[in-house]
Structure 1
Amino acid sequence: MPKSEVETQLLGGTANRGLVVRVGDTVRRPLRASSTATHALLEHLENVGFSGAPTFLGVDSQQREVLSYLPGETVTPPYPAWSMTDEALDSVARLLRDYHQAVAGFDPAGLDWAEPVPPEYVAGLVSHNDPNLDNVVFRDGVAVALIDFDLAGPGSALWDVATAVRLWAPLRPDADIADPRRGRTLTRLRRFADAYGLAEADRLRLVDATASNHVWCMDYVRRGAETGHPWFHQRWTTGEAALTDRTNHWFKTQAETLHHALL
């Protein structure tokens, strides 16, 4: 087999675990019901000159979408020290802002998207909706690209910031943070909002948005587990359900403290 056709499995992710491969300078991923919408989004980003997302290259003979491979590192356990720094956090916020500026002119009407965002957080912008640690590509410790647009759809900048800061601060009980970010939740929450340049009106809504985002995301995982998806089932039944309950309670008890951190 020619070297350019050798398939190398890519790590990370849950929904498509074991199904995403690199072939030369391309990535092959399963098609989905929302693929047409995602491809239109990626084509828009390419057309406006945004380099922080894969390029859609077509569909291969195995009916997999073909995307450009973006060289760099993603953040998977055990988390490297550089990925936990404030500088890395700042670069994620700036990358997300750049994406929102690039996507602002994209019209999502008439396309079928994957997972509806709560209507109160839909404001005329297609958000990524899953800027998890393993969905951001870094080079030399700086975030340069977003990958895995499977959950992208009509949302808002606020919803994306809520998603990102919930995962990157992270926003959860300190006892459930087993890395250098423990004890720095409030500082990193404020820092992310500042680095993004979040508008005052959105800062006032950010804490409520993060709590809603946690419910939205964990409901997606729970439904995946209940419908038999093996990796979602494993994740949900090996601690995620209990962590979800603890985090939901934490958001309720810490809401005032979180709001104050953003002032």
Structure 2
Amino acid sequence: METPLLGGTANRGLVVRVRNTVRRPLRVSSTATHAVLRYLEDVGFAGAPRFLDIDDQGREVLTYVPGETVTPPYPDWSMTDAALDSVALLLREYHAAVAGFPVDDFEWAEPVPAAYVDGTVSHNDPNLDNIVFRDGVAVALIDFDLAGPGSALWDVAAAIRLWAPLRPDDDIHDVRRGRVLSRLRRFADTYGLSEADRARLVAATADNHVWCMDYVRRGSETGHPWFHQRWTTGEAALTARTNAWFTQHSQALQDALLH
């Protein structure tokens, strides 16, 4: 029996659980992401699903990672500093594990800005519903559809943009409102971001927002139903507000990162 799995936009309604496996549509970058998952398995990284096979319907078959992902309405435990810390630590462990993967040997999905490419395979989409928790602790990254050449800085920027979150307070409707600066600093500290990357983090988060929202906009314009729904029911306006917010608050964000 197939059980639909909730969350996500690009593959909404197309990802299912079959017993202890997950079935997902193939993509242009599937060969690359399968190679990454095999590599992570070979080096003993437990924080990602395992690639198993292609099924008779042409879908990739992955191991099911038990636990919870964070979807609205957000549970209280997911908004805590402890949960934030665990995301930072999981991301650091992933970057250490994936180091050495031959990134140039494969075709990838969505290129990130060249300034944020240093030979690392970044996950590129550490959204709230792409991280599995158990007992309030982040234990695995899922949905490697956008993985590709990037950097630790780019992944940290993506994660903190979503988990702080970095946006106007009026657009934060949970207990994180008013705590953007402290959560930004906390994530960078817990991850152990280098001084050089701390100096670039604010610009990287603004650039990551532009990159991500451009991906959504293009999906909407090419007729993807869920991207279109998302873009036309508030995302376009939120994107404009957030872009302006980054410009207005860049110095305060940078100051929050100072030791």
Q: What do the CA deviations read for 1:152-191 (whole angstroms, capped 9, x no partner)?
A: 0000000000000000000000000001000000000000
Distance 2:246 2:98 in 1: 30
Matched, 1:228 2:211: no
Matched residue type, 2:25: P
Alignment of 1:51-200 (within 5 A): 51-200=46-195
Deviations 1:213-233 (A, max 9, x none): 000000000000000000000
How many pairs are equivalent?
258
Q: Distance in 1 between matches of 2:135 and 2:163?
A: 18
Structure 1 Cα separation of the partners of residues 150 and 100 of structure 2: 14
Match of 2:246 in 1: 251
Deviations 1:87-111, CA, capped at 9 Å, x for gaps: 0000000000000000001011121
TM-score normalised by the chain length of structure 1 = 0.98
Identity among equivalent positions (%) equals 78
Q: Which AA in structure 1 matches 2:163? A: W
AA in 2 matched with 1:55:
R
Amino acid at match of 1:25: N
RMSD: 0.3
CA distance in 2, matches of 1:244, 1:27: 32
Helix, strand or coil at the partner of 1:194: helix
Aligned to 2:201: 206
Q: Deviations over 1:64-120 (max 9, x none)?
A: 000000000000000000000000000000000000000001011121100001000
What is the rounded CA distance, in whole Å, between the counterparts of 2:61 and 2:162 in structure 1? Answer: 28
1:149 match: secondary structure: coil
Structure 2 counterpart of 1:221, which letter? V
The runs of at least 4 consecutive aligned structure 1 residues that moved more than 3 Å come to: none
Letter in 2 for 1:207: V
Letter of the 1:62 counterpart: Q
Gaps of 5+ in 2: none
Counterpart AA for 2:120: L
Partner of 1:260: 255
Q: Distance in 2 between matches of 1:198 and 1:109?
A: 25
Mapped partners of 1:58, 1:226: distance in 2: 33
